Amino acid sequence: MMHNKSVAELSKELESGKISSVELTQQLLDRLKNEDGKYNSFITISDEQALAEAKAADEMRAAGKATAWTGVPFAHKDIFCTNGVRTTCGSKMLENFVPPYDATVTANFKAAGAVCLGKTNMDEFAMGSSNESSFFGAVTNPWGDKRVPGGSSGGSAAAVAARLVPAATGTDTGGSIRQPAALCGITGLKPTYGRVSRYGMIAFASSLDQGGPMARTAEDAALMMNVMAGFDPKDSTCIDREVPDYTATLNEPLKGLKIGLPKEYFSEQLSPAMEEQVRNAVREYEKLGATVKEVSLPNAKLAIAAYYVIAPAEASANLSRFDGARYGYRCENPKDLMDMYTRTRAEGFGNEVKRRILVGSYALSAGYFDAYYLKAQKVRRLIQQDFINAFKEVDVMMSPVSPSPAFVQGEKTTDPVTMYLEDVFTIAINLAGIPAMSVPAGFVDGLPVGLQIIGDYFSEARLLNAAHQFQQVTDWHQREPQ
Ligand code: GLN
């Protein structure tokens, strides 16, 4: 039953010598191949590399150089470049792209001796909230037939929920770690902007993108953060600041913790059944000694509008590199250079990506820049100030992650705006650059509900501590989909 064990437990099994990494890796690869047909949570299973990494990990251990991660299997969202292993970002544009280098996050896991089983499915270029925009097909939520797993890190969330891997990386630009974590009943953390290197993480909206952990427990998320966080000279927005041992403070008592409930996040957008689960979770915190008060984020209602100017603007610039000339897809028999550019992009990108490029190019064009892009940036500053003000009064904030539990595939694909509203409770956090978690906190109609815990800049250790303490007195994170 190795597939049911957490990273922390697998680490102990390997340390005790009860199982080797090669044996463990082979077991999980076999299971992954048998089971993933139901979910489509992986784009690439890299068995050869995984077994080679497992062998190297066993040697690392024999040489007395093991870390907590040595020999432990996990997976990467297919947005992190992996040297020699195809990296698609969920797009036809990169269907056959094999990077000649590792992302810093990838390199960090390798240095720790972790074993990557493959690359998880995702919305194309991380644009989406349901994993239906992937060129490699939709992902199915293990909690419900034909239900979405959330997005864009839906493959990682589904794989962890289905016990295919104990943990997986994700990225979060407007909610893409927290929302799929909530919809699949797992634990996810979006770190402070600049805490985790973006080098080699394919760019969507550079001022918002942040990589982070997705796992079943807060303890495992802390173990992932120990590997992922830290300064990287290759990313000019990465912050040079000491990295704590995120597992060291998991057991701090929560007595006296001041929790704020942002009243704007308990609005009519939230169904009463969802609200009840979130409020029950907050009551658990009161039992643990926390105090609760209402706070206000008056500009939060502007977050979606500001985000859907800023993120597409940055995406339109980032995606200009996919032109058929340098790497990735190129159309057949171009007539001339312009024909190559236009047909490559028309054929290589899916609809949602094209929509974002159009919106972004429009917002940045002369004559509209001030009215849209500049205005959105000003709103972003106001939203950030709301959080700064609120954190003068409280230590953390708690809210729902998404307005509803996992919806049925196809339900929101016809109207992009209903899809965008999936992130009403997560997007403002990216605009402000602060960290937030999603923690399993109950069920509605048999589908998981997440509790969002929002923190001030660089408070990841405190968030993980709060999540871990909750997981000592609840078992939502242990529930298994049938
Ligand atoms: N759902 C949001 C979007 O489509 C956020 C995606 C993300 O965080 N990568 O842009």
Q: In this predicted model, what pLDDT tens digit does every residue of 448-463 receive, in sequence order?
A: 999 999 999 999 999 9
DSSP class of residue 412? T
**Does the Cβ of 128 fall within 6 Å of ligand 1?**
yes
Task: Determine whether 21 is an active site residue.
Answer: no
Please state, for a pLDDT cut of 70, what percent of the chain lies above it: 100
pLDDT at residue 93 greater than cutoff 90 = yes
Instruction: List the one residue out of 233, 287, 295, 217 whose CA is nearest residue 257.
Output: 287
User: Which contiguous run of DSSP H or E holds residue 379?
Assistant: helix 375-390
Q: Mean per-residue pLDDT for 58-82?
A: 98
Distance from the CA of 128 to the center of ligand 1, in angstroms? 5
Say whether 134 is catalytic.
no
pLDDT tens figures, 6-40: 999 999 999 999 999 999 999 999 999 999 999 99
* Pocket flag, ligand 1, residue 156 (CB < 6 Å): no
**Which atom number of ligand 1 is nearest to the Cα of residue 129?**
1
Is there an atom of ligand 1 within 6 Å of 316 CB?
A: no
Look over the chain and give the mean of its residue pLDDT values, rounded to a whole number: 97
Report whether residue 126 contacts ligand 1, using a CB cutoff of 6 Å: yes
**Atom of ligand 1 lying closest to residue 308 CA:** 10
Cβ of 127 closer than 6 Å to ligand 1, yes or no, is yes
Token representation of residue 105: 């996050």
Q: Is 170 in the pocket of ligand 1 (CB under 6 A)?
A: no
- Ligand 1 pocket test target in 176, 207, 438 with most atoms within 8 Å of CB: 176
Residue 77 catalytic?
Answer: yes
CA of 322 to the centre of ligand 1 (A): 20
Q: Residue type for 436, please?
A: A
Q: Is the peptide bond before 152 cis (omega within 30 degrees of 0)?
A: yes
Say how many Å lie between the CA of residue 214 and the centre of ligand 1. Answer: 16
Enumerate domains of the chain plus CATH numbers: 2-256+396-478 (3.90.1300.10)
Environment class of residue 337 by beta-carbon count within 10 Å: exposed (0-12), middle (13-18) or buried (19+)? Answer: exposed
Mutate to test the pocket of ligand 1, among 172, 173, 422 (most ligand atoms within 8 A of CB): 173
Q: Burial letters for 70-85: b for 16+ Cβ neighbours within 10 Å, e otherwise?
A: bbbbbbbbbbbbbbeb
Cβ neighbours, 10 Å, residue 321: 12
Distance 464 CA to ligand 1 centre (A): 23
The whole-number pLDDT of residue 300 equals 95
Q: Would you state the pLDDT for residue 416?
A: 87
Q: What are 464-479's pLDDT values in tens digits? A: 999 999 999 999 999 9
pLDDT at 180: 98
Q: Is 173 in the pocket of ligand 1 (CB under 6 A)?
A: yes
pLDDT tens track for 369-416: 999 999 999 999 999 999 999 999 999 999 999 999 999 999 998 888
Which residue among 21, 77, 156, 438 is the active-site one?
77
SS3 184: helix
Assess whether the C-beta atom of 260 lies below 6 angstroms from ligand 1: no
**What Rg, from alpha-carbon coordinates, does the chain have?**
21
pLDDT per position as a tens digit, 298-307:
999 999 999 9
Question: Which is the catalytic residue, given 133, 156, 176, 197?
Answer: 176
Protein residue whose Cα sits closest to atom 10 of ligand 1: 127
| Pocket-testing residue among 120, 125, 130, 152, ligand 1, by greatest number of atoms within 8 A of Cβ | 152
Q: Quickly state the pLDDT bin for 482 (edges 50, 70, 90).
A: confident
What was the pLDDT predicted at 145? Answer: 86
* Spacing, Cα 182 to ligand 1 middle (Å): 14
Residue 244 DSSP one-character state: P
Which tens digits make up the pLDDT trace of 140-187? 999 998 999 999 999 999 999 999 999 999 999 999 999 999 999 999
Query: Which residues neighbour 101 within 8 Å (Cβ) at sequence distance 6 or greater?
Result: 81, 83, 200
pLDDT of 1 higher than 90 = no
Query: Model confidence over 220-239: pLDDT tens digits?
Result: 999 999 999 999 999 999 99
